[in-house]
């Protein structure tokens, strides 16, 4: 068993959403849903985080920021697109400045659609992401063994 | 003789302190969660966190950062070994300060502005608590007649009877040493009130795991200092000391959850005033 699944630390980045999904992400981490039951901690630091929660669509201004945060995170890492804007661009998909969903910038592992995405859906997505995290952690271990 | 006992003490401490510290940290998180109306994580959550961090990719901004952190952990372990094997309290105090200095240097070595802010603040914290800690060691010497912690076992009454004012002063700076709110300036365990991540901003993966273990070990040592006040010739007094340690730790968690962070000016001034009042008055009473 990998320990990655026991303590998924998240980092949250608001790309360009209307803030609806951000409020839901924070609501997920509040006492009502108590993400810490599963070891979820909201870190403000990509270097400590395992799961990258992105809300909102990608545009020309923030694509470099998203890539930078993703690059600063250490393996194993998982990206969760929270809300329909982060999944596909949502109602803003044909705006002149919008590139599209988060997967236009970085590889996304779990999609959590919704407008705004419900806390239950986010928890579901994080649990799904934790399973991916476990797989990646195992793969990394194999790789380390192979290197030796 | 002392060298061998210190070595054995350090080895035993290196095995037991991380275990105890980990459980303490787990209890801290559960009690904190209950105070906030949450269920909280399992007791072993800090252990899971550290195991996960050890599994992560080993990357660092430079090659010396991890060396400094290993030194910080090693000196914290030696400090605990000296203390619990009945060694010199003054040496223990200096060793744990050296450990903090390595931690600060590790943060500075990364040259990240955020880590540097954390390192500045950690330096201020060391400045704030160090006078009181030194006065604690001196008052201990005056009250017990020796710097050796083993000397308390020959006492006919606990040290608290004569240096209770110093105990209160140490209790005040303990909040700074344990990095609890309102004095968690350099690194908060609650990310929401932090500039990125304070002093640990650039530390990640296995390096961060070592930082966590260092904190567990430090917590056990500092609680040992608290317990030292309540131990005397009677073997049962160790039970009393353990009870006091639990109460003090609960008090620290309570304070942590009920106060917002203060500015560094207030921390520095108040800690020095406490050291001056509690430490010197107590010493003056003892000497004259």
B38, B197, B202 member nearest A34 (Cβ):
B38
What 3-state class would DSSP assign to A39?
coil
Tell if the CB–CB gap between B55 and A45 is shorter than 8 Å.
Answer: no
Mean pLDDT over residues B150-167, rounded? 88
* pLDDT number for residue B192: 59
Cβ atoms of residues B104 and B122 within 8 Å: yes
Token pair 């969660």 is at which residue?
Answer: B33
Q: What are phi and psi of B28, to 5 degrees?
A: -55, -45
Residue bearing the bigger pLDDT, A31 or B27: B27
Nearest CA to B275 out of B136, B90, B163, B142 is that of: B136
pLDDT above 90 (res B126)? yes
Mean pLDDT of B128-154: 91
Contacts of B113 in chain A (CB under 8 A): none
- State the Cα–Cα distance between residues A110 and A80, nearest whole angstrom: 5
Candidates A44, A53, A73: best to mutate against B (most CBs of B within 10 A) is A44
Mean per-residue pLDDT, A104-110: 92
Domain boundaries defined on chain A: 3-147
Is there a contact between A7 and B52 if contact means CB atoms under 8 Å apart? yes
- The ipTM assigned to this model is 0.89
Residues of A in contact with B199 (CB under 8 A): none
Would you state the pLDDT for residue A37? Answer: 87
Residue B168 preceded by cis peptide, ω within 30:
no
Res B204 pLDDT > 70: yes
The domain over range A3-147 is classified in CATH as 2.60.120.10: no
CB contact under 8 A, A75 and B57: yes
pLDDT tens readout for residues B37-53: 888 899 999 999 999 99
Q: How crowded is residue B70: how many other Cβ atoms within 10 Å of its Cβ?
A: 15
A44/B48 Cβ within 8 A: no
Write out pLDDT tens, residues A31-76.
Answer: 888 888 888 888 888 888 999 999 999 998 899 999 999 999 998 8
Task: Measure the CA–CA gap between A13 and A105, rounded to whole angstroms.
Answer: 14
Q: Do residues B64 and B70 touch, judged by C-beta distance below 8 A?
A: no
* Count of residues making up chain A: 148
Please report, for chain B, the start and end positions of each structural domain, with discontinuous segments joined by +.
2-287
Chain A, 59 to 78: residues with Cβ < 8 Å from chain B are: 74-76
Q: Cβ–Cβ of B52/A41 closer than 8 Å?
A: no
Contacts of B41 in chain A (CB under 8 A): 36-39
Q: Which residues of chain A lie closer than 8 angstroms to B202, CB-CB?
A: 47
Q: What is the pLDDT of residue A5?
A: 83
- Burial readout B184-202 (b: 16 or more C-beta within 10 A, e: otherwise): bbbbbbebeebebbbbbbb
* Nearest-by-CA chain A residue for B53: A4
- pLDDT of B196 > 70? The answer is no
Bridge partners (DSSP) listed for residue A10: A42, A51
Sequence-distant (≥ 6) Cβ neighbours of residue A88 within 8 angstroms:
A100, A101
What percent of chain A is modeled with pLDDT above 90?
30
Confidence of residue B159 (pLDDT cuts 50, 70, 90): confident
Judged by CB atoms closer than 8 Å, whether chains meet at B204 and A137 is answered as no
Bridge partners (DSSP) listed for residue A51: A10, A78
- The better pLDDT of the pair A44, B240 is held by B240
Q: Which of A135, A103, A130, A38 is nearest to B39 (CA)?
A: A38
- Percent of chain B exceeding pLDDT 90 equals 62
What pLDDT does residue A148 have? 61
What pLDDT, on a 0 to 100 scale, did the predictor assign at position B125? 92
- Residues from chain A that touch B210, judged by Cβ atoms under 8 A, are none
DSSP A60: T
Assess contact for B106 and B65: CB atoms under 8 A: yes
DSSP string, chain B: -HHHHHHHHHHHHHHHHHHHHHHHHHHHHHHHHHHTT-----TTHHHHHHHHHHHS----SSSSHHHHHHHHHHHHHHHHHHHHTT-BHHHHHHHHHHHHHHHHHHHHHT--HHHHHHHHHHHHHHHHHHHHHHHHHHHHHHHHSSSBGGGGGG-SS-GGGT-HHHHHHHHHHHHHHTT-TTS--S--SSGGGSSTTGGGTT--HHHHHHHHHHHHHHHHHHHHHHHHTT--SSTTHHHHHHHHHHHHHHHHHHHHHH-PPPPHHHHHHHHHHHIIIIIIHHHHHHH-
B40/A37 Cβ within 8 A: yes
Edge-to-edge strands, sheet with A78-82 = A41-42, A9-14, A51-55, A78-82, A110-112
The helix (run of H) or strand (run of E) holding residue A67 is: helix A63-72
**pLDDT of B217 strictly over 80:** yes
Token pair belonging to A51: 């799961």
* Predicted confidence band of residue B251 (pLDDT cuts 50, 70, 90): very high
Closest residue in B to A5 (Cα) is: B52
Q: What is the rounded distance in angstroms from the CA atom of residue B123 to the CA atom of residue B286?
A: 31
pLDDT band at B103 (very low <50, low <70, confident <90, very high): very high
For residue A143, the surrounding DSSP H or E stretch is helix A119-147
CB-nearest to A45 from B33, B48, B196 is: B196
Give the distance from residue A34's alpha carbon to the nearest chain B alpha carbon, in angstroms.
6
């Amino acid at each position: 068993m990998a320990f990655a699944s026991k303590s998924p630390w998240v980092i949250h980045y608001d790309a360009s959403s209307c803030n609806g999904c951000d409020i839901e992400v924070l609501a997920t981490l509040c006492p009502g849903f108590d993400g810490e039951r599963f070891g979820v901690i909201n870190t403000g630091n990509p270097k400590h985080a395992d799961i990258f929660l992105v809300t909102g669509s990608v545009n020309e201004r923030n694509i470099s920021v998203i890539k930078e945060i993703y690059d600063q995170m250490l393996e194993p890492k998982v990206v969760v697109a929270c809300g329909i804007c982060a999944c596909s661009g949502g109602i803003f998909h044909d705006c002149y400045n919008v590139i599209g969903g988060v997967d236009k910038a970085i590889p996304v592992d779990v999609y959590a659609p919704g407008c705004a995405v419900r806390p239950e859906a986010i928890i579901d997505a994080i649990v799904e992401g934790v399973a991916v995290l476990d797989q990646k952690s195992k793969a990394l271990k194999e790789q380390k063994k192979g290197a030796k | 003789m002392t060298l061998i006992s210190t070595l054995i003490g350090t080895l035993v401490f290196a095995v037991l302190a991380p275990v105890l510290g980990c459980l303490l940290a787990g209890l801290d998180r559960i009690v904190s969660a209950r105070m906030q109306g949450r269920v909280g994580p399992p007791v072993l959550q800090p252990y899971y966190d550290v195991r996960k961090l050890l599994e992560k990719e080993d990357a660092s901004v430079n090659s010396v950062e991890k060396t400094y952190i290993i030194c910080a952990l090693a000196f914290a372990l030696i400090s605990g070994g000296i203390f619990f094997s009945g060694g010199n309290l003054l040496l223990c105090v200096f060793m744990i300060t050296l450990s903090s200095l390595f931690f600060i240097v590790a943060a500075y070595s990364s040259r990240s502005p955020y880590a540097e802010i954390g390192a500045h603040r950690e330096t201020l914290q060391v400045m704030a608590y160090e006078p009181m800690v030194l006065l604690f060691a001196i008052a201990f010497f005056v009250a017990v007649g020796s710097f050796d912690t083993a000397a308390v076992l020959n006492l006919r009454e606990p040290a608290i009877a004569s240096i209770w004012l110093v105990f209160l002063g140490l209790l005040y700076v303990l909040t700074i040493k344990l990095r609890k709110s309102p004095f968690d300036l350099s690194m908060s365990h609650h990310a929401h009130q932090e500039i990125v991540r304070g002093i640990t901003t650039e530390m990640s993966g296995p390096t961060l795991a070592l930082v966590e273990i260092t904190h567990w070990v430090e917590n056990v040592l500092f609680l040992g200092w608290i317990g030292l006040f309540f131990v005397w010739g009677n073997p049962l007094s160790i039970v009393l000391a353990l009870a006091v340690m639990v109460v003090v730790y609960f008090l620290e968690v309570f304070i942590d959850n009920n106060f917002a962070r203060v500015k560094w000016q207030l921390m520095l001034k108040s800690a020095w005033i406490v050291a001056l009042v509690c430490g010197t008055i107590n010493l003056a009473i003892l000497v004259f």
